[in-house]
A and B are shown apart, each in its own frame.
Chain A
Amino acid sequence: MLAFLTAVPFVAAVAAAIASRVDRRAPGFVMLAASLLAAAMLLSQWGEVTDGATVEWVTSWVPSLEWTVALRLDGLSMLFGLLITGIGALIAWYGTGYFGADARNGRFFTTLLIFQGGMLVAVLADDFALLYVGWEVTSVSSFALIGFAHDRAEARQAAQHALLVTIAGGLAMLVGLIMLGVLTDTWRVSELTSRGVLGIDATLATVMFLLVAVGAFTKSAQFPFHGWLPGAMAAPTPVSAYLHSATMVKLGVYLVARLQPSLGDLEAWGIVLPAVGGFTMLYAAFMAVREVDLKRVLAFSTVSALGSMIMLAGLGTTHALTALAITVIAHACYKAALFMTAGTIDHETGTRDRLALGGLRHSMPLLAVSAGLAAVSMAGLPPAMGFLQKETALAASFEEPEAWLLMAAVAAFGALTLVAAVAAGVAPFFGARRDTPEPPHEGPPSLWAPVAVLAVLGVVLGVVLGVAVTGPLTPFISAIVSASAGEPYEAHLALWEGVNPVLLASVAAITAGLVLARFHRALPGIPWLRANSTAAMDGVLNGMTGLADRIERLAQPGSLPLYLAIALAAAVLPVLVLVVLANPINGLDLDADPLTVAIALVVALGAYAAARSATRLRSIAALGATGYGMTLLFLRFGGPDLAMTQVLVETLTVVLFIFAFRYLPITHETRDEHTRRHHVGGVVVAAVAGVAMTGVTILLATHERSYHLRAFFERASLPEAHGANVVNTILVDFRAMDTMGEITVLAVAAVGIVALLRITGREPASAAADSSRVLRTAARGLLPLLVVFSIFLLVRGHNEPGGGFVAGLVAATGVTLYAIAYDARIARRLLRVAPRSLIAAGLLVALGAGAFAMASGLAPLTGMWVDVSLPGGEQIPVGTPLIFEVGVFLVVLGVASALATALLEER
């Protein structure tokens, strides 16, 4: 039942969206029907709930986080459920009149129904996570509804303020609830109620309570978080009546009432809640009577009423909780009615300025009567619910140690609320008739009948509860109080309890209120307490934006040299510190080989010259020196394969660089002070990096490590990988996957360079000089030699220095030479196929060689070998790694050719 109940609004939301396509008026009626259905479903459980039983429905959601979809209906949730659905129905009815055939009806009612669903989830949830879900659904849908008139900047601003405040509070509450869950190991509200929080660390418990309280305060607009609620009056009136008076803003009150049994014993509870609630109650009551906009009067008066509820929940006695229950019901009835009244007045006269309104009873008699009845309740006059509200609140205060202070506060609140009731619900209809932007007239029934229903209900409930002591409603109140007290309780209510201090205080409040109400038109002129919360909130937001600007400028100043310095510093500074700690000098054996030192010096000088030189060409030459120096080092330390590759790569790189220079302006950038500073910075960073890396190298050279990989490769290379050249077997067999990745890098680089040259369509800045005849002759003669040599390298690579990579580079050198000597087109013709196809073929061959073994159910890249007999009778092993090698060869050849021909292309 509960699952269906919570599903009703969401299903209806979809239905409303669809219905709006059929008839523009339909969505409102969909909501009306859905709300009535949901209310009926709730009422079907009336008997059980008033008997003090609970209805539950549980299903799992995220077991690993202990989230359950646990719904639980007791007196307290029944109360809020009935408010949500009952007032929801009336609001829907009212909305059909308020919006008529507005084209935005679909969006409006869909959002409103989603809100309704969120509310129901929140008040029925027995699980912290689910409660939070419902809570935030209401925040977000409230945002959408406040900003309904989204073409107006104030509406957008108000929506934003409301959202940020309530979500901020929601997040605080979330942390509080998570703390609660973690500390008590309970994630269900009902379990917590029975277990309590005694025994957990007092400080943590207090922090946790304060976080949860902030959530309640923001949602229920308690000082100093109240500012969003008057701002939210930018919303259409049905929204103000429903969300910002009758239901959503009471969610904070609900939460506090719900947690009262488990957290109510905390010392902070009894201090913070009454203090904040009480102050808000009085402050907002003052603010209310000083407003001129009817809706803002009601908004502040709502804040004030919410303050009284929080205060009562904070007092936490059964009498206070009884008063709380009565207050919630009473307030929902009269405040929603008066909000709708304000909306109707606005709708029919074009203004909500209460000083500009008067005498409307002549043109809108039915609304006048209804509003007057609601105002009676709000004013706290007998026999309406409002009177009962004031009486019970006073009675609860009377029991407290600070009775007189509390009673005075409640009485003042009562008096000021009476003034507000007169200002908002009575004054517009009485007195002299005034001119309004539109001639006033009675609206359709939907614009006054819902007001009448609520107003009458306010009086009837008051009579039923107050006169018939054991009437049908008292068990319901008992159920509500039992739920929020955490123990069974029998409520006793009466309108007349005899003459006692409570009645005297009540009479005093009414008298004071009536006196003050005579001057209600003058109150807005009083200059004290001018606080503009919208401006304050704006100030906070602007401060945030200013801070964001500053942080962004600091963190992202747009200077690449600076970013590079930071990146390098982050990489090497910690290393430098650690190197110093490890002390590499200790045990350093300075026995260097002079030749190696000499080569190292060449490498270092080359690097320095490359960084310092004023022209590109010199930089490249210097880099070349470094590269060839590295080649010598590789040779010296026994890496012929590495040396061979390095020398070819260096050569091709220098050549390609020079071709690429044709696309750049010839002049070099000048050096000014700015770049000089960068150079100094660069030298420092480079020096630190150099020292750190040297230190690391020395440390590692003296570190004893395992050689199990090397041992394996040396042992397995010939017998298992069928190659004597360990470097090669590593490349095409043991770690062929790396090679696959690397040839992909090459392929992509080639594709990219060709694409970038073509897409940017940049012309070379200088034309290529005609090549000499000598070069052409040499190219023609060298090419066959190079091709033969490359094939030789490819074939022998598995056992001797060589291999597909080197072979591809050698062949590509030939093609490049040809391209320089003749031109790119002729070089390409020489290849027969496009370099791009060569690359693709190479990749596919390599992939195919890798996939071959999978056909036999083996891992990819497993070498599959057969022995092939040569004509001489010799048996040589041939296997897929060799095919892989051919793929590498093709890719390298294709890439180098693609680059050379693309860069030399003349357009």
Chain B
Amino acid sequence: MSLWRLVLKEIRHRRLNFALGVLSVTVAVGVLVAHVVLLRAHDVRTEEILRRKQSDADARLATLEDDYRKYMKELGYNLLILPKEQDLAEFWDKGYATRTMPEENVRKLSDTGTQAMRHLLPIVQQRVLWPEQKRRIILIGTRGEVPIKHRTPKEPMLLAVPPAEAVVGHRLASDLGLERGSPITLLGRKLVVASCRPERGTAEDITIWIDLATAQQLLGMEGRLNAIEALKCYCAGGGIEDLRQDIVATLPDTRVVIRENRVTVRARARERAKAEHQEAMAAEKAHRESLRQARESFAAVVVPLTVTGAAVWVGLLALANVRERRNEIGILRAVGLRAAQVFSVFVSRALLMGLMGAVLGYITGLAMGIAAARATEGALSAGSLGHLFAAGVFIPVLVASPALCVLATWAPAVVAARQDPAVILREGS
């Protein structure tokens, strides 16, 4: 026979005392675990709410962004970089810049690798007389979009025009019966129509686009540009003033004109929606956090009270057990058991009480916590429930609960071990 057998048989014999002890440990552990589960469920639900709100907001913002991407494509470049000395009144009067700047500027700009700007298009532009047709046209020379360094190239909004070819505006093409492949002569230079643009209802309808170098030769503007057109991207964030300052810092001899249009209105709407969403998220987080703090405060009072109550109760039960077993202790000491063995009998009993209480309390607490979470947080998904079964709580409870029981039983066990068998046996004789 071992001491463990002695302990187990005694537990079976005085099962009420042991059951009351297990019950108190179960209640204490259950309350603790239920609160932990409730707080976890709260965190899980908070994450779900915030994720859903974020997802809704992302979808809304994506719709707004998609809108103005389409508008940007339709409306073309919204940023115009002009020579610094260009008189804007004259620019708006004539429809193009009369001053020039070095062609080198476009390379400097592309080297900055800016995130807020896309589609760089260097141009020369003048309103000229087309002597061969005796009508005034807008002549634009372009060498196509210049890629911005360190960025993935985008599909160009305007393709380069090959040398010896021309792209013709809708009005000119229809008036002169031009079509793809038609030969034309412009300022004495023989060109072939590469394509005819669809009707835009703007000055573009009387515009001819040709290769930049050819235009520079024809207009006597070698190595010079009138303007650089670009697209300010609102999806990358950042204000217009910031971008303007960045460009002027790179190209001090330029000025930047922003074309207000539906894109900027949409972009601002998106920024506003984004700010509103961030405010709503912050408010929701604050609300959930305050709810959590209230629950934590409640747990901070209830859990220690329950645990202390259970420890005191276990100690009292152990004391009652020691008193009830005085005779037994006396005879066991008389037949040769050491004081340490008597002590270990009571400690082992407490250890078993703590272990059983921990397991039962964990199961009970989990069930109570899930029920309470369902009542306060609504139905939890199966995936969310999985987060509540964490070993991170079970293991400490499995260790702490028996340890606390042993601690509570320590004093009664010492009393038992120190009992004088002679006194007990004399009383019984």
Q: Do A and B come from one complex?
A: no
Chain B residues packing against A (C-beta within 8 Å): none
